[in-house]
């Protein structure tokens, strides 16, 4: 029987691109690489306008603290260091590079010279940090820091191949076309944690990939393919851990606190590329889909490529564009600028026309059906959270556990009253956190 969790629901999959082989996108004429793509500090630029850069060269790094470097994804000339607003309207410095068409690789990029068996956990952490790898499932937490903080604490390594968001199929294709990269990256993580085996968790709507993996790992004791029930949000690490181990992750705790650590499949492949070839994270797999796209595809895209260039690589738009989402429709972020660059956390670009936007005909009325309560994977009462958040009654929202919401969007998706529950929750969480930060700053000043 497939593993699963309590709550959640089966979302219409829309996995139209599951048979689209991964294609390499032609490198764009220009890339715009944000110096903040991960959780943690912004990078400081290490290049100036007029500099020549190689593909894979470090162009920005943090000055201590949490964070990892960013690299040039094409070779060419730095033509601007300019501030651009990201999806959350925060100004971020971007390094703009004009592609010289050479794709000349940084000569400093060389494979790690030791065998895996002779490589220490600290060396693996440094390789991962230097390669600028951050979680590619969406959270964008620096991967080296995740490994570092979990060392000596975990007994279960889980590779997250659930890909439960509608539309997105890039990880599915990766598992079909290059499963060895995912498995080899997992071996590197097993070595770092000193563990003997890993769970490869994959939803049962990817039978071809499950069969492929089962054949590949048949004689190995290093991997256990775990078939998960197709249910949203199975890819949320709390749900994955519960489904596989029965352990609930208390709010504010990390998976390592319950002996687990979870890595996305593409992150594992990036770790392997860093170890085997010295290759930093300069491109990623992106599913491009939505009713506006002429030819939906799975593409390998250089980091910093504009959304518009990616859409054009898929034949352009077939009808007027109403909304572009980076990531899945449940948890992704709507973009306000068609030139927004692809970053390390961009798993999909979804382009929708107005007819796909339920928001335009929303009634916003709670019918007290209880569906949101039944389906919430965090066992919250989303109807009350929305009510309190809408009325700016933040203390009550907090009492009802608003900060435990993982923003999966299940409640909004299922609401027959078309309440924008998760949007109200996001606003309330932001206001509560801002108030807590303000109080902490005031207290510090008073000390
Ligand atoms: S699902 Fe919507 S209508 Fe039903 S109780 Fe929740 S908020 Fe109200
Ligand atoms: S309240 Fe939060 S965790 Fe619960 S279903 Fe809604 S978005 Fe998901």
Q: Burial code of 278-308, b = ≥16 C-beta within 10 A, e = fewer? A: bbbbbbbbbbbbbbbbeebbbbebbbbbbbb
Ligand 1 atom nearest residue 368's Cα: 5
Q: Domain 116-277 has what CATH class? A: alpha beta
pLDDT in tens, 276-332: 999 999 999 999 999 999 999 999 999 999 999 999 999 999 999 999 999 999 999
For ligand 2, atom 6, the nearest C-alpha belongs to: 411
pLDDT tens profile 164-182: 999 999 999 999 999 999 9
Report whether 53 contacts 76 (CB < 8 A). yes
Determine the Cα–Cα distance for residues 242 and 167; give it in Å rounded to an integer: 25
Residue 117 has pLDDT above 90, yes or no: yes
User: Which one of 416, 417, 418 would you pick to mutate in the ligand 1 pocket, going by the greatest count of ligand atoms within 8 A of its CB?
Assistant: 417
In terms of pTM, does the model score above 0.75? yes
Name 293's Cβ contacts closer than 8 Å, sequence gap at least 6: 311, 314, 315, 317, 318, 351
Segment 186-205 mean pLDDT: 97
- Segment 103-118 shows an average pLDDT of 95
Quote the ligand 2 centre to 383 CA distance (angstroms). Answer: 10
- Tell me the pLDDT band of 361, cut-offs 50, 70 and 90: low
The confidence band for 35, taking pLDDT boundaries of 50, 70 and 90, is very high
Beta strand 91-99 with 30-34 is: antiparallel
Ligand closest to Cα of 411 equals: 2
Q: Which of 164, 398, 408, 423 to mutate to test the pocket of ligand 2 (most atoms within 8 A of CB)?
A: 408
Whether the pLDDT of residue 360 is over 60: the answer is no
Determine the pLDDT at residue 139: 74
**Which of 45-49, 185-189, 258-262, 435-439 is predicted with the least confidence, judged by mean pLDDT?**
435-439
Strand partners, 95: 33, 81
Question: For residue 155, is pLDDT > 60?
Answer: yes
Measured from the alpha carbon of residue 368, the closest ligand is 1
Q: Which residue from 294, 255, 84, 278 is spatially nearest to 160, judged by alpha carbons? A: 255
Question: Which residue ranges have their beta carbon within 6 Å of ligand 1?
Answer: 366-372, 382-383, 414-417, 419, 421
> In sequence order, what DSSP letters do the residues of 30-83 get, joined into one string?
EEEEES--SSSPPPEE---TT-EE-BT-EEEE-SSSS---EE-SS-EEEEEEEE
pLDDT cut 70: percent of the chain above it: 98
> Could you tell me if the CB of 380 is within 6 A of ligand 2?
yes
Provide CATH 3.40.50.11540 ranges for the chain. Answer: 116-277
Atom of ligand 1 nearest to the CA of 369: 4
Amino acid 89: pLDDT: 73
């Amino acid at each position: 029987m497939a593993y699963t969790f309590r709550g959640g629901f089966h979302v219409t999959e829309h996995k139209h691109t599951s048979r689209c082989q991964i294609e390499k996108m032609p490198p764009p004429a220009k890339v715009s690489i944000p110096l903040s793509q991960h959780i943690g500090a912004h990078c400081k630029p290490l290049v100036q306008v007029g500099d020549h850069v190689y593909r894979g060269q470090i162009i920005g790094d943090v000055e201590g603290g949490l964070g990892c470097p960013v690299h040039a994804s094409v070779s060419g000339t730095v033509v601007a260091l300019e501030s651009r607003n990201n999806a959350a309207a925060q100004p971020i410095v971007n390094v703009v590079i004009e592609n010289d068409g050479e794709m000349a690789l940084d000569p400093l990029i060389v494979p790690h010279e030791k065998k895996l068996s002779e490589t220490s956990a600290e060396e693996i952490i440094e390789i991962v940090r230097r390669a600028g790898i951050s979680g590619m499932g969406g959270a964008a937490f620096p991967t080296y820091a995740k490994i570092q903080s979990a060392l000596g604490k975990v007994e279960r390594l889980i590779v997250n191949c659930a890909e439960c968001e509608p539309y997105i199929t890039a990880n599915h294709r990766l598992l079909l076309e290059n499963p060895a990269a995912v498995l080899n990256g997992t071996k590197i993580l097993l070595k770092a944690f000193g563990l003997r085996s890993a769970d490869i968790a994959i939803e049962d709507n990817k039978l071809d990939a499950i069969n492929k993996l089962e054949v590949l790992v048949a004689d190995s004791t290093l991997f256990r393919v775990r078939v998960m029930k197709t249910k949203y949000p199975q890819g949320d690490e709390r749900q994955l851990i519960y489904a596989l181990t029965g352990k609930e992750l208390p709010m504010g705790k990390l998976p390592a606190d319950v002996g687990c650590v979870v890595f996305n499949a593409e992150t594992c492949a990036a770790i392997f590329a860093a170890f085997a070839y010295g290759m930093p994270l300069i491109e990623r797999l992106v599913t491009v889909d939505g009713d506006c796209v002429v030819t939906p595809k799975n593409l390998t895209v250089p980091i910093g490529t504009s959304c518009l260039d990616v859409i054009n690589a898929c034949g352009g738009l077939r009808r007027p564009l109403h909304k572009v989402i980076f990531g899945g429709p449940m948890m992704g972020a709507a973009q306000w600028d068609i030139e927004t660059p692809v970053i390390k956390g961009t798993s999909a670009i979804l382009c929708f026309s107005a007819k796909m936007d339920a928001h335009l005909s929303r009634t916003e009325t709670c019918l007290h059906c209880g569906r949101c309560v039944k389906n919430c994977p965090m066992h919250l009462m989303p109807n009350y959270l929305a009510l309190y958040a809408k009325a700016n009654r933040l203390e009550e929202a907090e009492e009802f556990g608003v900060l435990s919401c993982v923003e999966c969007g299940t409640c909004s998706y299922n609401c027959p009253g078309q309440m924008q529950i998760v949007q109200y929750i996001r606003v309330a969480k932001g206001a509560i956190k801002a108030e807590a930060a303000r109080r902490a700053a005031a207290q510090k000043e008073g000390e």
